[in-house]
């Protein structure tokens, strides 16, 4: 499949935003202004960008603890994500949730999540609802290699398969779950192959290549939309940073391993390959970089000046 | 570190010490959980143990709370002593059916033939605005179930003594530390000692009212008591240490002395531990009460992320002082 120029630039724009956003979050977090804990998405941008470029606003995404990138790629405004991480009243969850509990249903974003694996069944439920309502929506569930060893993986995929639900499972296999390497966690290292147990298509893609992710997700999403049922896509990827801010991520992963993945930086790769193929020129990428900086500065300023939530609202929305 | 002739170590290290001593003493102990091997635990709660006991006895698992807890229960039923560390008590919810339906019942249903020497370990409560899914305080859920013992230590001394008792019990014990306490320091003797279950600790003697608290709230209660002392309100701070079994007699004796009781909890009030303490007051020493009991608990909302909201929901020293003062004047 030939991916057009506009799509390439769109993928680049999304990935650049995700990267710059996370680098800014790291800086703010280290300076002590952000409460809580953050898990950064740096290195994995091609997955969220490539998948979400195929989704419409009403399609639904269930995300993870490493979910800032999923939220932004699904169209949650940068201002709202930033303000949420700051615990401000203008955040997408009005400061009630923070990094691991960000909801924006108006953007089809059904939550980041602090409980590993829990989106796998809920996204199948969202797909069941879409099927029952004949809404044409597709749901996507992002989850990690770690989550693929939890019971919910098997329960969710089984029901999604037997009911032919319009859900696409996107496993972000970054080889580690906290400090636990996949090899220590399981002997079933080929996660995509597990789809066969449920008679579901399983695909493995290079998660550092935004165009390949875009194609694989596009195929799975259009199949789901046409009543063709669920797909499991395993994206081979890597987090450049530690598990969360505060974990250097270097005592359980070798320097060589980290460096070899950094060489395959998905943003640089897309830019360089597109330029080599003369799909787009340096000036066009540079323009996006500048635009991204302006977008980011706006989001940070918005987060900074936004008001704290009113303590009197603490008990709202408990029914 | 030794101060005033007393050895001071952290709450976290007190647990490591108890584990090391008991694992040396009882070779049947196997410890199962996520990140508890070479990593030494998310909270450093197994620091250094892997170097001594290795993969054979410290079993790092995938993310599989239902699986790891079920395995620990099965191992305990089959002849080992097992520890399963769910790390965050929040994640024990994934394993609740194994704990409540299997571990708690096996001894009873086998007419006493099966023993379940099991410790389920997890940390509760709020720390550094982690957000609702990592901040729950669930001890009362477990204490509702016959067949489970529930331990909620507040100090390094109690962690060591209570954990050693847990590791010699033949009943499933839910051992619940508080995340925000792992780094506090306190006196822990190097010599062996055990703390019996069901025996409350009077952390501070007083005469005007009894203040019951567990976990981190013991420290909040003590701070509030120091402030109110200057106003002539003398609070007796009582930490039951284990909420199942509960030292009803110890609580009643304190209430008979002070004639009032209040409970401070990081957990919610509804159907909770504070109500259980009230049942002691009403059933066991009603005639001694000079005033209706008082509870100061988390306000009924999920634990919000924003510090402004979280501080509104959770009790703190200021709220305890104000509410106790008003209660005393009412
Ligand atoms: C049910 C549950 N168990 C344990 C945890 C603690 N935890 C948070 S993230 C994580 C690792 C997740 O690994 P993976 O699914 O591969 O995602 P990654 O962090 O690599 O993106 C763990 C164990 C949790 N949040 N929820
Ligand atoms: Mg992973």
pLDDT band at B309; cut points 50, 70, 90: very high
- Those residues whose C-beta lies under 8 Å from the C-beta of residue A162, and which sit 6 or more positions away, are A198
Strands B29-33 and B81-88: parallel
Per-residue confidence band for B111, with pLDDT thresholds at 50, 70 and 90: very high
Q: Quick check: B3 pLDDT over 80?
A: no
pLDDT, tens digit, 9 for 90 and up, residues A255-312: 999 999 999 999 999 999 999 999 999 999 999 999 999 999 999 999 999 999 999 9
Of all residues in chain B, the one with the smallest CA distance to A146 is B63
Closest CA to B216 of B270, B155, B133, B129: B155
> Who among A98, A147, A314 is closest to B131 (CB)?
A98
Condensed to tens digits (0 to 9), the pLDDT of residues B52-96 reads 999 999 999 999 999 999 999 999 999 999 999 999 999 999 999
Residues 6+ apart with CB under 8 A from A34: A25, A28, A85, A86, A87
User: And the tokens for A282?
Assistant: 């340096």
Phi, psi (deg, nearest 5) at residue B5: 75, 0
Q: How far apart are CA B130 and CA B134, in angstroms?
A: 6
CA distance B303 to chain A (A): 8
- Tokens representing residue B270 in the block: 């509804």
Output the pLDDT for position B157. Answer: 98
A177 touching B (Cβ < 8 Å): yes
CATH class as words, domain B201-329: alpha beta
The reply to whether residue B63 touches residue A117, judged by beta carbons under 8 angstroms, is: yes
Query: CA A43: distance to chain centroid?
Result: 11
Find which of B304, B307, B312, B313 to mutate to test the A interface (most A CBs within 10 Å of its CB): B304
CB-based contacts of B33, cutoff 8 Å, min separation 6: B41, B46, B59, B60, B61, B68, B83, B84, B85, B86, B87, B121
Q: What is the DSSP string of A182-233?
A: HHHH-S---TGGGGGGGT--EEEEETT-HHHHHHHHHHHHHHHHTT---EEE
Best B32, B61, B62, B127 member to test A by mutation, with max A CBs in 10 Å, is B62
DSSP reduced 3-state for B97: helix
Dist CA A144 CA A175 (whole Å): 9
CA of A190 to the centre of ligand 2 (A): 14
Q: Phi then psi for A313, rounded to 5 degrees?
A: -90, 5
Alpha carbon distance, N-terminus to C-terminus of chain A = 50
Position B330 scores a pLDDT of 87
Asked if ipTM goes beyond 0.85, one says yes
Q: How many CA atoms lie within 13 A of A241 on its CB side?
A: 18
- For the four alpha carbons of A24, A29, A34 and A39, in that order, the dihedral sign comes to positive
Proportion of chain B above pLDDT 90, given as a percent:
98
Q: Which two tokens stand for residue B194?
A: 């055990």
pLDDT of residue A319: 83
| Predicted confidence (pLDDT) per residue in A36-51, tens digit | 999 999 999 999 999 9
User: Any idea which fold B2-187 has?
Assistant: Rossmann fold (3.40.50)
In the reported structure, the alpha carbon of residue A259 is separated from the centroid of ligand 2 by a whole-number distance in angstroms of 18
Interface of B with A in 265-304 (CB under 8 A): 299-302, 304
Cβ atoms B265, B297 nearer than 8 A: yes
Residue among A303, A312, A314 with most chain B CBs within 10 A, to mutate: A314
What backbone phi and psi angles, to 5 degrees, belong to A227? 70, 20
% of chain A beyond a pLDDT of 70: 100
Q: Which tokens belong to A231?
A: 């797909």
B194-233 pLDDT per residue, tens: 999 999 999 999 999 999 999 999 999 999 999 999 999 9
CA distances in angstroms from B2 to A34, A160, B15, B187, listed in the order given: 37, 60, 18, 9
Tell me the fold of A5-299.
Answer: Rossmann fold (3.40.50)
> Distance, in angstroms, between B72 CA and closest chain A CA?
17
> Smallest Cα–Cα separation from A310: which of A86, A36, A89?
A89
Whether ligand 1 lies within 6 angstroms of the CB of A65 is answered as yes
- Provide the token pair at B133: 């899914």
Euclidean distance between CA atoms B324 and B330, whole angstroms: 10
Map out the domains of chain B as residue ranges.
2-187, 201-329
**pLDDT, tens only, B136-184:** 999 999 999 999 999 999 999 999 999 999 999 999 999 999 999 999 9
Are both B2-187 and B201-329 of the same fold?
yes
- Among A11, A48, A4, A3, which Cα is nearest to A267's? A11
Q: How many residues does chain A have?
A: 319
Alpha helix segments (H runs only) across chain A: 5-30, 45-52, 68-73, 78-85, 118-133, 151-162, 182-185, 210-225, 255-262, 266-276, 282-305
In chain A, domain spans: 5-299
Atom nearest to A143 CA in ligand 1: 15
Contacts of B171 (CB under 8 A, 6+ apart): B107, B116, B117, B147, B148, B149
Round to whole Å and give the CA distance between A89 and B59: 43
Please name the residues in contact with A41: beta carbons below 8 A apart, sequence gap of 6 or more. A18, A22, A48, A66, A67, A68, A69, A70, A239
B4 has pLDDT over 90: no
Closest CA relative to residue A281, chosen from A289, A290, A291, A271: A271
- Closest in A101, A185, A313 to B133, CB measured: A101
User: What secondary structure does DSSP assign to B186-242, as a single string?
Assistant: EE--SS-----TT--EEEE--SSEEEEE-THHHHHHHHHHHHHHTTT--EEEEE-SE
C-alpha of residue B153 to centroid of ligand 2, in Å: 33
- Residue B290 is predicted with a pLDDT of 97
Q: What is the mean pLDDT of each run of 10 residues along chain A (319 residues)?
A: 92 98 98 97 99 98 98 98 98 98 98 98 98 98 98 98 98 98 98 98 98 98 98 98 97 98 98 97 98 98 98 95
CA distance B228 to B329: 13
Interchain contact A244–B (C-beta under 8 A): no
Question: With 70 as the cut, is the pLDDT of residue B1 above it?
Answer: no
What are B11-51's pLDDT values in tens digits? 999 999 999 999 999 999 999 999 999 999 999 999 999 99
Q: What is d(CA B235, CA B308) in angstroms, rounded to the nearest whole number?
A: 29
pTM over 0.95: yes
* Closest residue on chain B to A316 (Cα): B301
Compute φ and ψ for A171, nearest 5 degrees: -90, 120
- Quick one: which ligand is closest to A174's CA? 2
Q: Is A145 in the pocket of ligand 1 (CB under 6 A)?
A: yes
Supply the pLDDT for residue B106.
98
B65 φ/ψ angles, rounded to the nearest 5 degrees: -60, -40
Q: Are B214 and B181 in contact (CB under 8 A)?
A: no
Q: Closest by alpha carbon to A54, among A232, A229, A274, A222?
A: A222
Residue B326: alpha-carbon gap to chain centroid: 29
The set of catalytic residues of B is: 65, 134
């Amino acid at each position: 499949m030939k991916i057009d120029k506009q799509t390439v630039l769109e993928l680049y724009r999304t990935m650049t935003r995700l990267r710059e956003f996370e680098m800014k979050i790291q800086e703010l977090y280290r300076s002590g202004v952000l409460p809580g804990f953050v898990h950064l998405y740096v290195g994995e941008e091609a997955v969220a960008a490539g998948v979400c470029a195929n989704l419409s606003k009403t399609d639904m995404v269930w995300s993870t603890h490493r979910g800032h990138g999923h939220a932004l790629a699904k169209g949650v405004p940068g201002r709202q994500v930033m303000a949420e991480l700051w615990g401000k009243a203008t955040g997408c969850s009005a400061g009630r949730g923070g990094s691991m509990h960000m909801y924006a249903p108006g953007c089809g974003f059904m939550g980041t999540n602090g409980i590993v694996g829990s989106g796998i069944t809920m996204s199948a439920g969202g797909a069941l609802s879409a099927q029952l309502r004949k809404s044409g929506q597709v749901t996507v569930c992002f989850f990690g290699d770690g989550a693929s060893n939890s019971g919910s993986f098997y329960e969710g995929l089984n029901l999604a398969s037997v009911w032919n639900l319009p859900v696409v499972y996107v496993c972000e296999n970054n080889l580690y779950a906290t400090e636990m390497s996949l090899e220590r966690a399981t002997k079933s290292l080929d996660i995509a192959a597990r789809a066969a147990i449920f008679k579901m298509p399983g695909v493995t893609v290079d998660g550092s290549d935004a165009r390949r992710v875009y194609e694989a997700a596009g195929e799975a999403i259009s199949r789901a939309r046409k009543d063709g049922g669920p797909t499991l896509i395993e994206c081979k990827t890597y987090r450049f940073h530690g598990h969360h801010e505060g974990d250097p991520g270097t005592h359980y992963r070798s320097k060589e391993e980290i460096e070899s993945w950094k060489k395959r930086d998905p943003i640089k790769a897309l830019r360089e390959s597109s330029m080599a193929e003369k799909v787009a020129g340096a000036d066009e990428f540079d323009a996006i970089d500048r635009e991204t900086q302006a977008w980011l500065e706006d989001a940070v300023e918005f987060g900074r000046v936004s008001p704290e939530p009113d303590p009197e609202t603490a008990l709202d929305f408990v029914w | 570190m030794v101060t005033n002739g007393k050895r001071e170590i952290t709450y976290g290290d007190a647990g490591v010490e108890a584990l090391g001593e008991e694992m040396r003493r009882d070779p049947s102990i196997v410890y199962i959980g996520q990140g508890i091997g070479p990593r030494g635990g998310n909270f450093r709660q197994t620091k250094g143990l892997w170097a001594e006991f290795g993969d054979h006895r410290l079993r790092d698992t995938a993310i599989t709370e239902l699986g790891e807890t079920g395995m620990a229960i099965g191992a305990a039923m089959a002849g080992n002593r097992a520890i399963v560390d769910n790390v965050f008590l929040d994640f024990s919810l994934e394993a609740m059916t194994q704990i409540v339906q299997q571990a708690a019942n096996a001894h009873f249903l086998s007419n006493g033939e099966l023993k379940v020497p099991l410790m389920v370990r997890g940390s509760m409560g709020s720390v550094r605005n982690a957000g609702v899914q990592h901040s729950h305080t669930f001890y009362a859920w477990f204490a509702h179930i016959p067949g489970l013992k529930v331990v909620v230590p507040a100090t390094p001394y109690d962690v060591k003594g209570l954990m050693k008792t847990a590791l010699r019990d033949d009943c499933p014990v839910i051992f619940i530390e508080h995340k925000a306490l792992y780094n506090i320091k306190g006196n822990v003797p190097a010599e062996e000692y055990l703390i019996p279950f069901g025996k409350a600790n009077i952390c501070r003697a007083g005469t005007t009212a009894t203040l019951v608290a567990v976990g981190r709230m013991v420290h909040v209660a003590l701070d509030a008591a120091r402030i109110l002392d200057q106003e002539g309100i003398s609070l007796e701070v009582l930490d039951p240490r284990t909420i199942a079994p509960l030292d009803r007699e110890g609580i009643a004796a304190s209430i008979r002395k002070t004639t009032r009781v209040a409970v401070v909890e990081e957990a919610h009030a509804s159907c909770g531990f504070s109500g259980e303490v009230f049942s002691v007051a009403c059933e066991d020493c009603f005639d001694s009460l000079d005033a209706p009991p008082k509870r100061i608990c988390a306000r009924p909302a999920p634990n919000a992320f924003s510090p402004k909201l979280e501080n509104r929901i959770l009790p703190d020293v200021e709220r305890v002082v104000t509410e106790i003062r008003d209660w005393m004047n009412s």
